[in-house]
Amino acid sequence: MKNQLIAAGFGGQGMMLLGQLIAYAGMIEGKYVTWLPSYGPEMRGGTANCTVIVSDKPIGSPVVATPTEVIVMNIPSMLKFSPLLAKNGKLFLNSSMIDREPQRTDLEVIKMPANAIADELGNLRVANIVMLGSYVKKTGILSENSIKVALEHKLVGKKKKLLNLDIKAFERGAALV
């Protein structure tokens, strides 16, 4: 098993956190992982993406030319990264912000209204965790429990008060996929 993910959106949409959570949960499960961040010229509002690999075998390089999955939170990210997806790869779209179909027809497209769900939960900042829930449930890459442990590890200090909300967001994304 080797999942190669690119998660992309605007800076501030939580793609780095999403990738870190997957990598940390993979380590909890004893898998080999890499996490490689990439930022545009601005942190918040510019483009941001990360590459995450989770594998049962050692990983030779953190660079991914042809991902097996792509999570996109906005149209520019979809236009940039969906062409890179492997044939029959999984494209996770934030349908709250992406109002068009990808150009390719050889992909499995999973639409999740992440912003709308996050808004229902009371905080737009958990849209990334909604997407994470759908990704983990659809791919079976990791256990839901490992993600929840990773959330507990990552959300410390002031962010700890968001833990219950993030768990709800994760569960909603998993339930709706």
**Rounded Cα gap, residues 55 and 32, in angstroms:** 5
Query: Which residue range(s) make up the domain with 171?
Result: 2-176
Cβ atoms 129, 112 nearer than 8 A: no
**Rounded Cα gap, residues 51 and 151, in angstroms:** 19
Q: What is the predicted pLDDT for the residue at 173?
A: 98
Each of the 177 residues of the chain gets a pLDDT tens digit; together they read: 899 999 999 988 999 999 999 999 999 999 999 999 997 665 555 679 999 999 999 999 999 999 999 999 999 999 999 999 999 999 999 999 999 999 999 999 999 999 999 999 999 999 999 999 999 999 999 999 999 999 999 998 888 899 999 999 999 999 999
Q: What is the predicted pLDDT for the residue at 11?
A: 85
Q: Which residues contact 6 (CB under 8 A, 6 or more apart)?
A: 49, 50, 51, 64, 67, 69, 70, 71, 81, 84
From residue 128, alpha-carbon distances to 55, 57, 97, 114 in Å are 22, 28, 12, 7
Q: What is the predicted pLDDT for the residue at 159?
A: 86
- Domain of 21, CATH number, reads 3.40.920.10
3-state secondary structure of 38: strand
Q: What is the predicted pLDDT for the residue at 46?
A: 66
Bridge partners, 53 (sequence order) = 4, 34
pTM of the predicted structure, to 2 decimals: 0.94
Q: What is the predicted pLDDT for the residue at 44?
A: 57
- Structurally, the chain folds into a number of domains equal to 1
